[in-house]
Amino acid sequence: MAATPPAPALRDDRLQAALPALRALDERLGQVLLPSITVGTPTAMAGSLWQLAKALHFLVDALDTDSAQAQAPILTGASDALDHAAGDLRQARADLSHLQDLAAEEHEQRMASVDIEPEAIANSADLEVSLPDAFGTPARIQIRVDASTGRASWSTPDVELDPIGGRRQLDLTTALRMLAETITGALPASAFDQTDS
């Protein structure tokens, strides 16, 4: 069996020209953000900015290499940092608003996005997760979003779950939205045909 040829490294000559300025920005961000992140309990906003700076650092490193094999794990680091930054922003939002207000806001945004462009909506998900005990015990978890209030709920016969607060509300609705976006991209155009047959 023939070996898979190596993938070419991602390259953009205009970004290569900007690399020195991006390096300087990366270094400066690290310097100015360090005091906010090294305190006893950094704020969610400081955490998000720090993760964005980390993502930039990884991206600059990826630009600075011509090896696709070296770029791949660097880009994974950038993606992980951006995920953490988004999570910290959801925490900041949760710290500012009541649960019902967050749910209503998410619900309104979801309905508005459907009006702009047809897409699948994930109202629920049934998961089977492996618990981190010695045996990897499976647990079945049902996640639902109320169609009228936007409030997320979960239930399981297998394990006790903590109540859903603001951060979990945002995390769950974000996860469902990402699933819906992935499914939307895989659906045929006929799935969005609203004409009567």
| DSSP 8-state code for residue 97 | S
Question: Which pLDDT score is estimated for 136?
Answer: 80
Question: Which pLDDT score is estimated for 195?
Answer: 64
Question: Which pLDDT score is estimated for 8?
Answer: 74
Question: Which pLDDT score is estimated for 98?
Answer: 96
Rounded to the nearest angstrom, the gap between the alpha carbon of residue 53 and the centroid of all alpha carbons in its chain is 16
The model's confidence at residue 192, banded by pLDDT at 50, 70 and 90, is confident
- Which of the two residues, 197 and 92, has the higher pLDDT score? 92
The model's confidence at residue 99, banded by pLDDT at 50, 70 and 90, is very high
- Which of the two residues, 114 and 177, has the higher pLDDT score? 177
Tens-place pLDDT, residues 40-80: 999 999 999 999 999 999 999 999 998 889 999 999 999 99
Confirm if 155 and 125 have CB atoms less than 8 A apart. Answer: no
Cα–Cα distance list, 100 to 12, 179, 185 (Å): 45, 23, 30
d(CA 149, CA 112): 15
State what percent of residues in the chain have pLDDT above 70: 93
Question: Which pLDDT score is estimated for 1?
Answer: 57
Instruction: Decide if pLDDT at 2 tops 60.
Output: no
Mean pLDDT of the chain: 90
- Which of the two residues, 92 and 118, has the higher pLDDT score? 92
Tens-place pLDDT, residues 170-186: 999 999 999 999 999 99
Helices (H), 9-136: 13-37, 44-63, 68-96, 99-116
d(CA 90, CA 96): 10
Question: Which pLDDT score is estimated for 189?
Answer: 87
Which residues lie across from 142 on neighbouring strands?
A: 126, 155
Tens-place pLDDT, residues 159-173: 999 999 999 999 999
Retrieve residue 102's tokens: 């967050």
What's the mean pLDDT in 122-145? 91
